[in-house]
Amino acid sequence: QTCALPISLGENRWKLALQLGNTIKVSEAVSLELVGDVRFQSQNDDFGPAGATMTQKPVYELQTHVRYFLTPGTFIGANVSHIFGGETRVDGVAQQDRQKLTKMLFSVGHMLRPDLQILGSVGKDASVRTGLKEESRFNLRFLKIY
């Protein structure tokens, strides 16, 4: 089980993200991760050129990760996540911009050493209600564990 409590500054407001997750070992070779997030934003009293007041409702995210371990240090995996909520108001006027996004990602990861991982992922947005739809994504990550 994991619990994260990151706090960030930016956009003339505070942000707080809470995350809770659990990893379930389905078998020797398969694991399932279930993760839930909620992100809160404080009011922005200096939004845009006119210095308007902007508020935002919480943003929620649900994630599932399935990993199949080919070896103890190498896996293939699939991820589906769904983000929703977060409608903003500017000077009390609803912006009709509530988010609703479902995305998919497929990954291959390998531990090069006990403290160094390489991970490649490809994916895309399956559906988007507000914003731009990402037709394709490729990530390459090197992770150094301290």
Kindly give the confidence (pLDDT) of every residue in the chain, 146 residues in length, as a single tens digit, with 9 standing for 90 and above. Answer: 555 555 555 688 899 999 999 999 999 999 999 999 999 999 999 988 888 999 999 999 999 999 999 999 999 999 999 999 999 999 999 999 999 999 999 999 999 999 999 999 999 999 999 888 999 999 999 999 99
Q: Do 35 and 44 form a contact (C-beta atoms < 8 A)?
A: no
Q: Cα separation of 58 and 143, whole Å? A: 30
What confidence score (pLDDT) does residue 1 get?
52
What confidence score (pLDDT) does residue 6 get?
52
For the stretch 74-107, pLDDT in tens is: 999 999 999 999 999 999 999 999 999 999 999 9
What confidence score (pLDDT) does residue 12 get?
87
Q: Which of 78, 68, 84, 93 is nearest to 36 (CA)?
A: 84
Q: 129: which DSSP letter?
A: S
- pTM of the model as a whole: 0.80
Rg over CA atoms, the chain: 18
